Amino acid sequence: MSFCPGERNTNAAFFLEQSVVNIRSMLTLKYSWCRLMKNFDSSSCHIYIITLEHAEERRKIISQRLKELGLDFEFFSGVDGREINLLKHPNYEPVKRRIFFGRDLSHGEYGCVLAHRNIYQHMVGHQVSRALVLEDDAILTDNLPAVLNALSEVSANWDLVRFLGREKNYRSTRVIGPLKDSGVELSRPLGIPGGAYGYLLNLSAAERLLGLMQKNWLPIDTLHGMVWKTDLETLSVMPSPVLPNDTVPSCIDGLDDSARWNKTAQLDGWQKALYPVTRGLWKLYLNLVIKYTSLKTWKSDQRLGRRLVAD
């Protein structure tokens, strides 16, 4: 393509102007990113990644990602549920589990419970004031450092922040208000959403959860969602900076992955006879306490939302 002299000068000026605009935009983004990273004090928030010994590829991927985000972290040994004798484990309550859910926890679910409990025990033993807990297959978005920084600014308002990244989680969440310079909104999960692939908690939450986990019959994400039981100020953010990786098989469940999603009652004897009644009562109980909790927190969420907007 040929240009007359006037056209060439006009195009050259246009491309020069666009280049200057692009450079300015890049410098602005770099400055904003560095400012957020500078303000985020990683020493005030430990990052623990739960992983199993054989999950080398997962450790490699999430290590690289956290380094890209400029976040310090450490790996925390998980518990391989396949090596647990579930029914003989001293901390498992099989009867309570069966009469309300119709089946035992899977070995993987119980291994997951023990791994998260070990982190809470570590936090209490070492007086860790705040921690981000991640499972090794979690997907991390670019704004995770900014979200952590923003949450630290409002830390007086939460004990546990669950990162719930599935669309169905968003549909059952109440938006409270925007978190400054993070691109997300502080929210309150309603109901008992599933997922413990990423969450932030303080020392008080670790102490409370540890106390509740001396005997176990609930998956860890179910316990997190039962806020009337934990008595923790449990919030979330939308959209979540930590997402589940549903494209890879669970290395925690391993051999009994299908058992985790099997909702069929597996009972006999008196437990089988009693189950229709106990299960019905359990569902009624959940419906009532979830509605009560939603109403109980509505006014406080409105007040917090106004403060977040004002800031």
Closest CA to 131 of 160, 109, 163: 160
- Model confidence pLDDT, tens digit, residues 91-132: 999 999 999 999 999 999 999 999 999 999 999 999 999 999
Looking at residues 154-172, what average pLDDT do you find? 95
- Model confidence pLDDT, tens digit, residues 181-227: 999 999 999 999 999 999 999 999 999 999 999 999 999 999 999 99
d(CA 126, CA 114): 18
- The three-state secondary structure class of 132 is strand
**Where do we find the tokens 């605009």?**
21
**Tokens representing residue 166 in the block:** 């599935």
Q: What is the mean pLDDT of the chain?
A: 86
Q: Does the pLDDT at position 16 exceed 80?
A: no
Percentage of the residues of the chain whose pLDDT score is greater than 90: 77
Judge whether 233 and 157 are in contact, CB under 8 Å: yes
pLDDT value at position 284?
98
Better-predicted residue by pLDDT, 43 or 78: 78
d(CA 293, CA 310): 26
- For 42-51, 232-241, 290-299, which range has the lowest pLDDT when averaged over its residues? 42-51
Q: Domain ranges for the chain, please list them.
A: 39-310
Q: Does the pLDDT at position 31 exceed 80?
A: no
pLDDT value at position 264?
75
In single-letter form, the type of residue at position 53 comes to E
pLDDT value at position 14?
34
- Model confidence pLDDT, tens digit, residues 227-242: 999 999 999 999 999 9
d(CA 173, CA 188): 6
Q: Does the pLDDT at position 281 exceed 70?
A: yes
- The three-state secondary structure class of 212 is helix
Q: Is 183 exposed, middle or buried (0-12, 13-18, 19+ CB in 10 A)?
A: middle
Closest CA to 100 of 288, 235, 284: 284
Better-predicted residue by pLDDT, 40 or 222: 222
**Tokens representing residue 180 in the block:** 């400054």
Cis geometry, peptide bond prior to residue 90 (ω within 30 degrees of 0): no
pLDDT tier at 265 (50, 70, 90 boundaries)? confident
**Tokens representing residue 247 in the block:** 């494209």
pLDDT tier at 246 (50, 70, 90 boundaries)? confident
Neighbours of 85 (CB within 10 A): 8
Better-predicted residue by pLDDT, 146 or 34: 146
Q: Does the pLDDT at position 21 exceed 70?
A: no
pLDDT value at position 18?
40
Domain 39-310 has CATH 3.90.550: yes
**Tokens representing residue 269 in the block:** 């004897």
- For 63-77, 140-154, 262-276, which range has the lowest pLDDT when averaged over its residues? 262-276
Q: Does the pLDDT at position 279 exceed 50?
A: yes
Full-model pTM? 0.84
d(CA 44, CA 202): 11
